[in-house]
Amino acid sequence: MRFPRTHAPLPGTTLLAWRNLVHDRARFLGTLVGIVFSVVLMGAQCGLLVGFAQTASTLIDHTRADLWITAVGTTNVDIAAGLPRRWVFQAREIEGVADATPYTLQFAFWRKPTGGNESVIMVGVDLGRRYGEPWALAEGSVEDLQQDGAVILDRLYMEKLGVTNVGQTIEINNRRARVVGLTSGIRTFTQSPYVFTAADNAHHYTFLPRDQTTYVLVQLDAGADEAAVKARLQARVGTRATVWTRAEFSRQTQRYWLVTTGAGAALLLAASLGLVVGVVIVGQTLYATTIDRLPEYATLRAMGAPNRYLYTVILKQAAISAAFGYALGLLAVGVLAFAMRDGNIALALPPMLVVVLAALTALMCGLGAVVSIRRVLRIDPTSVFA
């Protein structure tokens, strides 16, 4: 067998790599189990991280507002101080603003029919302009919120709040309300369910004065310069409030819940643990396989096989293991995400995460092959004649 001294593809490396792996099928199966476990752990933790980020900013991302005016010091959409309601009218006077509307978010206590209270977040929507209205409706309609005391919540939280059907009468902060509709999949990061109602009704169920609102949502004229309008609004409100673009406020909310609270760090730590476990398992298996085949590698060295040939075989072993393990692991993560689709916790699996998982799996198996490569390159070709 001749070994090319150029950078041309090396013949037989793929077949040799495959035979080395399947020579001990039990060991190969153990390698796959380890890789699958690592992919599932990394995928689940990263998927939860993405899901939590999407959940944390879901209200912001689903509004039609281009700009948000918040009280100064606001760090996330769920917790904010009040603003003067007159700022809505002042915002409408700014050049480039097509419309502005109040948007109320306040915590309240929901009395369960069976007894006890649950914390909820009342979301007051200006039905005349319908900014930030509930979406993904499964039952009822937004127009139903025009009724006195009407509220809409997500069916994920029906059991938690003791709701059995649309039309049920309940109490919020000791005031009667009636469930007129249900949404599907509007989760909340704080686990205090969002309860949508008309802006006027929201003041009945919260302690926010009628002359205040939590946010002012702003929609721009077509073709208006977002940065310029934002600057004009900021100049109008001065240091009493902060003007955000929708993307900025979305990122700030995600950063607060995932970084400031440490939730994101915990998920990333678990994902990193999966990567480390995978590197150790793949490294041990490839090293054991290499040690078993040392006489064959020594023979190849004695026949003149270049170093590139030997480490190509080992890297292809790692690549084959990565391909099988990644495919099985991704399938398991997909099944897990599907099973959690109707749960209170979202596991997201966007295309970018699929690519990231593939890159992490390749990195994991590549690092696992390094020790084996170093061992093979230290083989003495003359040992084959010993």
**Are 168 and 241 contained in the same domain?**
yes
**Are 49 and 188 contained in the same domain?**
no
Around 6, how many Cα atoms within 13 Å sit in the side-chain half-sphere? 3
pLDDT 10s digits, 110-163: 998 888 889 999 999 988 777 788 998 999 889 999 888 899 999 999 999 999
Given a contact cutoff of 8 angstroms between Cβ atoms, the answer to whether 55 and 185 are in contact is no
Instruction: Examine the fold and report which residue of 233, 260, 287 is the final residue of a domain before the chain moves on.
Output: 260
**Are 106 and 246 contained in the same domain?**
yes
- Token pair of 176 as six digits: 């009667």
pLDDT band at residue 297 under the 50/70/90 scheme: low
Asked if residue 229 has pLDDT above 70, the reply is: yes
Residue 1 lies in a domain: no
Given a contact cutoff of 8 angstroms between Cβ atoms, the answer to whether 197 and 106 are in contact is no
Around 188, how many Cα atoms within 13 Å sit in the side-chain half-sphere? 24
Number of domain units in the chain? 2
Lowest mean pLDDT among 23-27, 34-38, 47-51, 333-337: 23-27
Residue with tokens 């029919």: 113
**Are 249 and 284 contained in the same domain?**
no
Instruction: Examine the fold and report which residue of 214, 241, 260 is the final residue of a domain before the chain moves on.
Output: 260
pLDDT band at residue 10 under the 50/70/90 scheme: low
Residue 73 lies in a domain: yes
Residue 5 lies in a domain: no
Residue 4 lies in a domain: no
pLDDT 10s digits, 70-123: 999 899 999 888 899 999 999 999 999 999 999 999 999 999 888 888 999 999
Residue 262 carries which side chain, given as an amino acid letter?
Answer: G
Given a contact cutoff of 8 angstroms between Cβ atoms, the answer to whether 221 and 133 are in contact is no
pTM: 0.79
Q: Which domain holds residue 25?
A: 13-55+262-385
pLDDT 10s digits, 267-286: 778 778 777 877 777 777 77
CA distance 297 to 302: 9
CA distance 87 to 101: 9
| pLDDT, position 385 | 53
Q: Which residues of 242-261 are buried (b: 16+ CB within 10 A; e: fewer)?
A: bbbbbeebbebbbbbbbeee
pLDDT 10s digits, 315-353: 888 888 889 989 999 999 999 888 888 777 788 888 998
Residue 7 lies in a domain: no
